[in-house]
Amino acid sequence: DAFGEANAIPGNKVVIDQVVFTVGRLDTIAHEVGHLLGLRHDDPGVETDFLMRSGDDRMTPTTIDDITPDGAALDKLTAAQIATALADPKVLTAVPEPATFATMLCGLGVLGLVLRRRKGSRV
């Protein structure tokens, strides 16, 4: 493969050969993350500036800025691909805020102290 290898691993992981970066395929990681979100290569009729276009006929970005919306816009997705990515439960999984986690730990600590004091007063 002229662009390096990207291999899927069980558990939604991808291994990308370093050769990818020596031949200028800066968009490979973004493309492979699309696969992790359930996206497939799009229809042959879609323009070559779409991110999920097959690598052999997808436009090659020259800088990392080319694959951002403000760059050369080589990050386009079809409406169906956007819907698929948004429907993926991994995209919408809430991550607890550190303050919420700290509050929970403090609460458990206070509960532990109360239980320890009650146990100590019974003896």
Instruction: Supply the pTM of this predicted model.
Output: 0.44
String of DSSP letters for 61-115? PSSGGGGSTTTT-TTB--HHHHHHHHHSTTTS-----HHHHHHHHHHHHHHHHHH
d(CA 4, CA 19): 5
Q: 């779409």: which residue's tokens?
A: 50
Burial status of residue 59 (CB atoms within 10 A of its CB: 0-12, 13-18, 19 or more): middle
List the chain pLDDT tens, one digit each, 123 residues.
334 445 555 555 555 555 545 445 666 767 777 777 777 776 655 676 677 777 666 666 666 666 665 555 656 777 777 777 777 666 556 676 778 878 889 999 999 999 988 877 665
